[in-house]
Amino acid sequence: MKAEDIDFFKRNKGYERIFKAIRDKYKSIGRIGGVIKLDDLTDSEKVVLSNHFKKDFSKRKSVNIDVNKFAETFLNTRFEEYNLIDILESYFDEKLTSKKEEMHQYENEKEKFFNSFLSEYEGTKCWQWLKSIYENKAIGIRTINQRYDSDPTLLKRDIKYVCDALNRLPVYDGKKLRLPVFSSHITKDPHGFDADTDCGKMFINALATVFGVSDVKNSEEIAELLYRSGIVIDEISNFVTLKGLLAYSKGKCDKVFEAAYGCNEILQMPLYNLSVLDRIESPYKKVFVLENPGVFLSVCDIIKKPVPLVCAYGQPRLSVLVLLDMLYKNGTDIYYSGDFDPEGIQIAQRLFKRYPDRFHFWRYDVEDYIKALSDKTLSESRLKMVDKIDIVQLNPLVDKMKTLKKAGYQELILDDIIKDLLSMN
Q: How many CB atoms lie within 10 A of CB 2?
A: 12
Question: 123 pLDDT band (50/70/90 cuts)?
Answer: very high
Residues 6+ apart with CB under 8 A from 134: 111, 114, 115, 118
Q: How far apart (Å, rounded) are the C-alpha atoms in residues 385 and 312?
A: 20
The answer to whether 199 touches 192, Cβ cutoff 8 Å, is yes
Q: How many CB atoms lie within 10 A of CB 236?
A: 9
pLDDT value of position 237: 83
What are the DSSP calls for 327-386, one per residue? Answer: HHHTT-EEEEE--BSHHHHHHHHHHHHHSTTTEEE-S-SHHHHHHTEEEEEPPHHHHGGG
Q: Is 189 helix (H, G, I), strand (E, B) or coil?
A: coil
Name the more confident of 159 and 425. Answer: 159
235 pLDDT above the threshold of 90: no
Burial 244-274 (b: 16+ CB within 10 A, else e): bbbbbeeeeebeebeebbeeeeebebebbbb
Q: What number of residues does the chain have? A: 425
Q: In the chain, which segments carry CATH 3.40.1360.10?
A: 239-422
Residues 6+ apart with CB under 8 A from 286: 308, 332, 333, 334, 335, 424
214 pLDDT above the threshold of 90: no
Write down the CATH number for the domain with range 239-422: 3.40.1360.10
Residues 6+ apart with CB under 8 A from 33: 25, 67, 68
| 214 DSSP assignment | P
Confidence (pTM):
0.69
For range 336-353, the mean pLDDT? 95
97 pLDDT above the threshold of 90: no
369 pLDDT above the threshold of 80: yes
